Amino acid sequence: MDSSARGHACHCTIVPPHILDRLAEAGDAPVREAARRALALDARHRENRLLAPRTVLPPLTEDAGDHPERTVCDTRHTETLPGRVVRREGGGAVKDGSVNRAYDGLGATFALYREVYGRRSIDDAGLPLDATVHYGHDYDNAFWNGERMVFGDGDGQVFNDFTACVDVIGHELTHGVTQYTAGLDYQDQSGALNESVSDVFGCLVKQYALQQTANQADWLIGAGLLAPRVHGVALRSMREPGTAYDDEVLGKDPQPASMDGYVQTTEDNGGVHINSGIPNRAFYLVAAELGGFAWERAGQIWYDTLTGGTLRPDADFAAFAAATSAAALARYREGPETAAVAKGWAQVGITG
């Protein structure tokens, strides 16, 4: 994608609609109301995203992207974006923890992509990183809208503040990376791959920030996001899809761990947040097989695949598996990395 402009992108939220649908029916009155507001806002943003004009960016300087350029705004619980600027790049920490966490999360994501993969921001051309906090009233989500990160505060009953998890920030910003690279369609298997790639690099952002090995990492997306009353540990588990939560109100984590459990549905753009568990586990298996820091070899293979220019926007699981195998072979020849990739996809039933 031409990095001089922001192309059209999906409205990508961290909390999938099937969770909000359940809360809108099964929760107590405040939870139901918060979930219904979130669903309405998400629907509005999806429609606005489809109608949004292509935005041309100003020319970038030669050294753009060597350092992050962050701006955090605050809507003060309104629904009008972007809100008032409360912290700019280089400014000191403020009293508002949500502002500081958003600022730091943008920086942690920038650091992984720049320091590990040499990528100059989301678009590889120095795109400024913008975020908005305190969006709406008890808004139960966070999203990338093609231009900025937006965080709700959560309802306090099911979800905590969405700035609390650096992997959530990494996940949403990676939708921007996908937007500027492979442009995976947000539907069916290509949509599940879009979600999975965001989970992969969201996890790697957290692991890189904490300097954790594959063995030390929890491989959870949104650990700490669920309020204490919820019986669960996170939104998703890459190590064990389907085990992140099992709660009377929230329901049970529906993610399959292999193609044996693949879900055929017309909901959620063909189950993009559900079937993403299959490629998620494939990546975990590759990283665990190789050991060490997951961003170094497993992450490099996935990054090469995402940015290599060989993926079609409608790529399915098999096409993505083949592309990762080709990327591993190109970079590592017939080494353990190539064998680990083949083994990982076979274990989840994508390849024979």
Among left, alpha and beta (phi > 0; psi -120 to 50; other), residue 11 is: beta
**127 Cβ partners below 8 Å, 6+ apart?**
3, 57, 65, 121, 176
How far is the C-alpha of 56 from the C-alpha of 101, rounded, in Å?
Answer: 29
**238 Cβ partners below 8 Å, 6+ apart?**
199, 200, 203, 219, 220, 221, 280, 281, 283, 284
Find residue 144's DSSP bridge partners: 12, 149
Q: Which two tokens stand for residue 253?
A: 């984590």
Cβ pair 12, 150 in contact under 8 A:
no
**Residue positions annotated with a catalytic role:** 172, 273
Q: Residue with structure tokens 């008032």?
A: 84
Angle at 318 between CA 316 and CA 320, to 5 degrees: 70
Helix axes 188-210, 97-111, angle to 10 degrees: 100
Burial class (CB within 10 angstroms; exposed 0-12, middle 13-18, buried 19+) of 347: middle
Closest CA to 224 of 328, 88, 101: 101
What is each CA distance from 232 to 47, 115, 154, 228, in whole angstroms? 32, 33, 16, 9
What is each CA distance from 332 to 165, 243, 248, in whole angstroms? 33, 33, 47
Beta-carbon neighbour count of residue 50 at 10 Å? 10
How far is the C-alpha of 305 from the C-alpha of 181, rounded, in Å?
Answer: 10
How far is the C-alpha of 102 from the C-alpha of 96, rounded, in Å?
Answer: 10
How far is the C-alpha of 177 from the C-alpha of 191, rounded, in Å?
Answer: 14
